[in-house]
Structure 1
């Protein structure tokens, strides 16, 4: 009986964290792809991986943990924290602020992301601002 209870708890925890959307983002010369949990919830997370075609750009992975400050049927405003590691370069911590806009009323699964991420800490000891524009699709 104890094994059954433990298995059901693990299955329940995994169902809350399953990926529900995929996104493609562009930020200057650097692109990213990501998967994440439900962007319409109060809290959501995302893993982004570098998708670069520039040879000297470092490959990196980032974790975004966000909170929706405002949610509606067609628009979400979020802020949060970003923790990233760029191989052969540095680690970064940032504070993303963004908008998710769902412009097509009959198809709210498609969304456009506009986001600014001030990188407030890097091991390279410089501070910068990254602006990203991308698309997201939620699988429901």
Structure 2
């Protein structure tokens, strides 16, 4: 990854974390075939929430990628949330990616709603020069939201 991209990733990540200093934060691990991701984001129970995801694969010489996800909850329920949004990403080879994630977040434990299971499908297109490959990525993962205790 060249110095500019490294700086951009660190800057975006730093801004994202600093914005979250006084808010609820969720963390997640997601699996999608050969690509795993780790993510940190804003409170996924709000009407709008965001997430920064980093590729976490164990394949050698696989391009490292980072994605920003911006979602809107269309249904927020006690057991399940339905959300959709926009995904923008880039990898260290300079390939960009744009997608529209559609997801369901299940909260299966009544006594502990901070724990959730994510199922997501993201139709996406690569934005690299000379390419326009269309694909669909599916993720399944676990999320945990750290909430401040109410007084």
TM-score by length of 2: 0.79
Aligned position for 2:111? 106
Listed as ranges, the matches of 1:16-27 within 5 Å are: 18=23, 20-27=25-32
Runs of 4+ in 1 over 2 A off after TM superposition: 13-19
CA displacement at 1:17 relative to structure 2: 7.2
Distance 2:20 2:42 in 1: 10
CA displacement at 1:19 relative to structure 2: 5.6
RMSD of Structure 2 on Structure 1 (CA) = 1.8
Unaligned ranges ≥5, structure 2 = 1-17
CA displacement at 1:18 relative to structure 2: 4.2
CA displacement at 1:94 relative to structure 2: 0.3
Listed as ranges, the matches of 1:121-132 within 5 Å are: 121-123=126-128, 124-132=131-139
Task: Give per-residue Cα distances to partners, 1:54-112, cap 9 Å, x unaligned.
Answer: 11421100000000011101100000000000111510000000000000000100000
Aligned position for 2:60? 55
Task: Give per-residue Cα distances to partners, 1:114-139, cap 9 Å, x unaligned.
Answer: 00001134223200000000000001
CA displacement at 1:14 relative to structure 2: 3.7
Asked whether the equivalents of residues 22 and 33 of structure 1 are also in contact (C-alpha less than 8 Å), the reply is yes
Q: Size of the alignment, in residue pairs?
A: 128
Q: Is 1:134 matched with 2:132?
A: no
Listed as ranges, the matches of 1:47-126 within 5 Å are: 47-123=52-128, 124-126=131-133
Asked which structure has the greater CA Rg, the reply is: 1
TM-score by length of 1: 0.85
